[in-house]
Chains A and B, each alone.
Chain A
């Protein structure tokens, strides 16, 4: 809070009655008043709003979660300071922006990943995604998400969603192994994976989270006469798996809200994340338009877009028959449909992404209208990638893709200038 912005009660002047020495005057351009906001105030507030979810992550995923957050934040600060030294510009780590980037980077990594993963992700986030573009305010893409995208490619095993830490009843973390081995045994075997991977698995009845594998192999060496029956059975099996998931196979919705579910360190507790976001929205540092449009588009998309099932029957290596089946969530109204939509909203990184990543000031549009378009774009991309892409975690890439369009959105959504024709 700057002292100048506040009215200060007049105090008796100490000067004597005699001619006072002329004061040294500071001449600045108007305005001579400043609002209370500063970059540091905003950034440290965002960091503070992430603390509840950060604290909870240790409860859910163990001490490794704290370790990752600490490593990522420390790496971000050290990297920023080092690069600013090299660039011979003032070191501005005290403004808190590097700390926020570090925390957010750790938040979208699984606790079971090796110690090098948060370090590398944070390094890439600050060094490449932020400082290479000119530092705070100049980056096009969200640094934390670039860091996450980098390690996703660099360390696929650490980042495999099916290897995400698993919650048992006592909140003990355990590693389940890869879903690739687990799936053939049935839905039961993947209950430990992140709910989003589960849902995708259930929706497609796929062989694990292997990208692109969305066929249901209904039977090898099936007799020609049984082909149609096998296909029908495959489709039925897939539908049954989805229903089983929605009616009991997936974590309880209450757990999803609180955060006792598989997933990345900071993305699981929708409630704690929302708590901080409400404060930031009230302060005006997070604009409601982005999360509203983001969640809105995901909800509408989940209701409007069908789940695609592809069943095929093979003999040897040859595919002898296949069938595409589309399931509409809206057809399960009311109860299952809403449950399905709720899982879409609460699973994966959507809550974290919509409230803290997409709303990053630097990489989102300037105007409310632009923010609505931006948020809706993120939502549409997320639901499309989730339903039809080969990768269950869509939020990261949706936001990065929409970051790319921000300059264009700004260009067409800036207001009409006062006194000008439209």
Chain B
């Protein structure tokens, strides 16, 4: 079989310590804290009050707008309050719904019942996906119903189920493929039905031959579906790079995968779609890989959304001797400044390292490694130099960076991984983007003021 891939990228040590560790269900913690900011887009609005009794699967927050997601009680118990907790993705504080478990773990009415999803119309499927609170489980947490609703005029011909899992250490997707291949295949079938796409691809890197075998078997019954073996390379699982590898199509700049006729869903998302549609189970749990050199018993744990990280640490034998706590993979995951954190829908991994990676921030020696490896074909060296130039007071650096593709960076970190000067390239790119946003906001504010001023002047003349 042809091994598909994309130009550029790197081969970091895979470090998949937990590949052979079957998923273990984490004992239900006595207290769960569910942050309302679970998804990309607007956080949900809490729909329960302190003291209220909830059952598993009951809605506890409703979406605030279209690009927003429903949230459900991860177990049965009592709401003990709305707290402010740190969000692992942004580092900012958001509301979180604290639930004291009653230990019964009872499903809410209407949940956990089989349903014949084949009888449901596409728009009803999308509605059901939305109401099950499904978001992208690869880490980006984009609401899945939005993805399944292509903009008018765009035709989706292919659904790609992303089983690449190109991040080192993470194995939650791999274990899911081995343990629940049928659910993933059903999820793919549902996505095909919801969008009218004819072709389904399960994309898996070639370092997971067992998953390739199992998934090939599982999708045999799904018409138009097949497994695509990918070269093992980071960032093979990045959406745009995956579409290029599988279909040979480039998502145009500023565009969405639908502009290339494709939708990409993580394997975990596909399984969650199957759960929601075929069993009426909203998203209340996920698999989390706990790994890193500071974890004595690394493993894959099936745990409820809102599980305290401390509970995972206890199970995985994580002590206090670590310097870095990362949510997600080591290349694109976010370093945390506190351990008062809770598992979210997008928490694919919780990694603990004895030593944090150092940024030497040396001078760029123009070795060109970042340019050669960049999967977006950018010049990260130049972008980082423009970032430093901006910090030195050169305000024109933002425009210069815009001219060389500042917004086309996918922030995968490949450049910073290969950089011999260990420059904080992605940091500078994000800084430039943030500053650009601020500049635009200031500009808009100024325009509004000017317009208001003109209007006042005009009114004066009239009166």
Partner of A42, one of B322, B367, B371: B367
B367 in contact with A285 (CB, 8 Å): yes
B268 at the interface (CB under 8 A from A): no
Measured in the bound complex, the distance between the Cα atoms of B366 and A118 in whole Å is 27
The reply to whether A138 and B363 contact each other, CB–CB distance below 8 Å, is yes
Q: Which A residues are CB-close (under 8 A) to B323?
A: 23-26
B332 and A13 within 8 A (CB): no
Q: Report the Cα distance A32→B294, complex, angstroms.
A: 14
Q: How far is the CB of A412 from chain B (nearest CB, A)?
A: 13
In the assembled complex, B463 has its CB within 8 A of some CB on chain A: no
The residue from B294, B326, B358, B405 contacting A420, defined by CB atoms under 8 A apart = B405
Q: Let me know if B375 and A418 touch, CB within 8 A.
A: yes
B residues 113-142 touching A (CB-CB < 8 Å): none
Whether B390 is near chain A, meaning CB under 8 Å from some CB there, is no
- The answer to whether the Cβ of B149 comes within 8 Å of any Cβ in the partner chain is no
Considering the chains assembled together, what is the distance between the CA atoms of A418 and B238 in angstroms?
13
Which among A2, A12, A414 is the interface contact of B358 at CB below 8 angstroms?
A2
Residues of B within 8 A of A415 (CB): 371, 377
Q: Which residue of A lies closest to B362 (CB)?
A: A39
Q: List residues of chain B with CB within 8 A of the CB of A27.
A: 335-337, 356
Give every chain A residue within 8 A of B322 (Cβ-Cβ): 23, 25
In the complex, chain B residues whose CB is within 8 Å of the CB of A13 = 294-296, 317-319, 321
| Cα separation A203 to B12 with both chains bound (whole Å) | 54
Asked if B294 contacts A31 (CB within 8 A), the reply is: no
Knowing A26-B335, A35-B10 are in contact, say whether A419-B379 is a contact too (CB < 8 A): no
On whether the beta carbons of B252 and A15 are closer than 8 Å, the reply is no
A365 to B375 Cα, complex, angstroms: 19
CB of B187 closer than 8 Å to a CB of A:
no
Q: Please determine whether B331 and A33 come into contact, CB atoms closer than 8 angstroms.
A: yes
- B93 interfacial contact with A, CB 8 Å: no
Q: Which residues of B contact A38 (CB under 8 A)?
A: 360, 420-422
* Size class of the B contact interface (CB-based, 8 Å): 35 or more
Nearest chain-A residue to B381 (Cβ)? A366
B330 CB–A CB distance under 8 Å: yes
Contact: A418 with B320, CB < 8 Å? Answer: no
Q: Residue A248 at the B interface, CB < 8 A? A: no
**Separation of A20 and B427 alpha carbons in the complex (Å):** 32
Which one of A30, A37, A95, A284 has the greatest number of beta carbons of chain B within 10 Å? Answer: A30
Q: How far is the CA of A341 from the CA of B331 in the complex (A)?
A: 50
* CA distance in complex: A4, B253 (Å): 34
CA distance A55 to B441 in the complex (A): 63
Q: A14-B319, A39-B420, A418-B250 are in contact. Are A30 and B413 (CB under 8 A)?
A: yes
Say whether B15 contacts A7, CB under 8 Å. Answer: yes
Q: Is B368 an interface residue (CB 8 A)?
A: yes
- CB distance A361 to B366 under 8 Å? yes
Residues of B within 8 A of A34 (CB): 357-358, 416-417, 422
The residues of B that contact A367 with a CB separation of less than 8 Å are 368, 371-372
Task: Report if A87 contacts B (CB, 8 A).
Answer: no
Chain B residue contacts of A284, Cβ below 8 A = 369
- Interface flags for A405-422 (1: CB within 8 Å of B; 0: not) read 000000000111111100
In the bound complex, CA of A137 to CA of B360 (Å): 15
Q: How many A-B residue pairs have CB under 8 A?
A: 218
Of A2, A39, A366, A419, the contact of B421 (CB 8 Å cutoff): A39
The interface residues of chain B lying within 8 Å CB-to-CB of A24 are 323
The answer to whether A22 and B168 have CB atoms under 8 Å apart is no
Q: Tell me whether B363 and A21 are in contact (CB under 8 A).
A: no
Nearest-neighbour CB distance to chain B for A249, whole angstroms, equals 43
Quick one: which of B423-459 are within 8 Å of A by CB? 424, 426-427, 430
Interface set, chain A 338-392, CB cutoff 8 A to B = 361-368
- Shortest Cβ distance from A138 into B: residue: B363
Q: Contact: B379 with A25, CB < 8 Å?
A: no
**How close is A135's CB to chain B, nearest CB, in angstroms?**
7
Cα–Cα distance between A308 and B77 once the two chains are bound (Å): 97
Contact A32 B326 (CB under 8 A): yes
Question: With an 8 A cutoff between CB atoms, is B298 at the interface?
Answer: yes
- B residues within 8 A CB of A29? 335, 359, 416, 424, 426-427, 430
Is A6 part of the contact surface with B, judged by Cβ < 8 Å?
yes
B356 touching A26 by the CB < 8 A rule? Answer: yes
Decide if A136 is an interface residue (CB 8 Å cutoff). Answer: yes
Q: How far is the CB of B394 from chain A (nearest CB, A)?
A: 15
Interface residue A8 (Cβ < 8 Å from any Cβ of B): yes
Distance of A90 from chain B, by nearest CB (Å): 10
Enumerate chain A residues within 8 angstroms of B359, measured Cβ to Cβ.
28-29
Cβ contact within 8 Å between B319 and A35: no
Bound-state CA distance A24–B336 (Å) is 11
CB atoms of B368 and A366 under 8 A apart? yes
Query: Are B422's CB and A30's CB within 8 A?
Result: no
Complex contacts, B367 vs chain A, CB 8 Å: 42, 285, 361
* Contact residues, B77-129 vs A (CB, 8 A): none
CA distance A14 to B331 in the complex (A): 27
With both beta carbons as reference points, the residue of chain B lying nearest to A8 in the complex is identified as B293
* Segment 303-361 of A: residues with Cβ below 8 Å from B: 361
Contacting pair A366 B371 (CB below 8 A)? yes
In the complex, whether B28 has a CB less than 8 A from a CB of chain A is no
Name the residue of chain A whose CB is nearest to the CB of B411: A30
B373-399 CB mask vs A (1 if < 8 Å, else 0) is 001111101000000000000000000
Interface mask (B127-161 → A, CB under 8 Å = 1, otherwise 0):
00000000000000000000000000000000000
Q: Which of A15, A20, A31, A285 lies in contact with B357, CB distance below 8 A?
A: A31
Residue of A5, A6, A365 contacting most chain B CB atoms (<10 Å): A5
Determine whether the beta carbon of A31 is less than 8 Å from that of B420: no
**In the bound complex, what is the Cα–Cα distance between A115 and B420 (angstroms)?**
35
A361 to B417, CA, bound (A): 18
Determine the chain A residues whose CB is within 8 A of the CB of B262 once the complex forms: none
Q: Does A156 contact B (CB under 8 A)?
A: no
Give A15 Cβ to nearest chain B Cβ, in Å.
3
B239 to chain A: closest CB distance in Å?
12
A416 to B250, CA, bound (A): 12
A414 to B371, CA, bound (A): 8
**A9 CA / B366 CA spacing, docked (Å):** 35
In B7-38, which residues have CB < 8 Å from any A CB? 10, 12-15, 17
Q: Does residue B251 face the partner (Cβ distance < 8 Å to A)? A: yes
B365 part of interface (Cβ distance < 8 Å)? yes
Query: Which of the residues A21, A285, A419 comes within 8 Å of B408, measured between beta carbons?
Result: A419
B369 — which chain A residues lie within 8 A by C-beta?
37, 284
Q: Please list 25 pairs of residues, one from A and one from B, whose beta carbons are closer than 8 Å in the complex, sorted by A's number.
A: A3-B355, A13-B296, A23-B322, A25-B324, A25-B338, A29-B335, A29-B424, A30-B331, A30-B335, A31-B416, A32-B331, A32-B333, A33-B168, A33-B417, A35-B10, A38-B360, A39-B365, A136-B363, A137-B364, A362-B366, A415-B377, A417-B376, A417-B378, A419-B252, A420-B253
A-binding residues in B (CB < 8 A): 10, 12-15, 17, 168, 240, 250-255, 293-298, 317-326, 330-339, 351, 353-360, 362-369, 371-372, 375-379, 381, 404-405, 408, 411, 413, 416-422, 424, 426-427, 430
Top 6 nearest A-B pairs by Cβ distance? A15-B319, A13-B319, A31-B413, A7-B15, A20-B320, A26-B356
Given A21-B320, A23-B320, A26-B323, output 9 extra A-B contacts at Cβ < 8 Å.
Answer: A6-B13, A9-B293, A31-B331, A39-B365, A136-B365, A137-B366, A418-B253, A419-B251, A419-B252
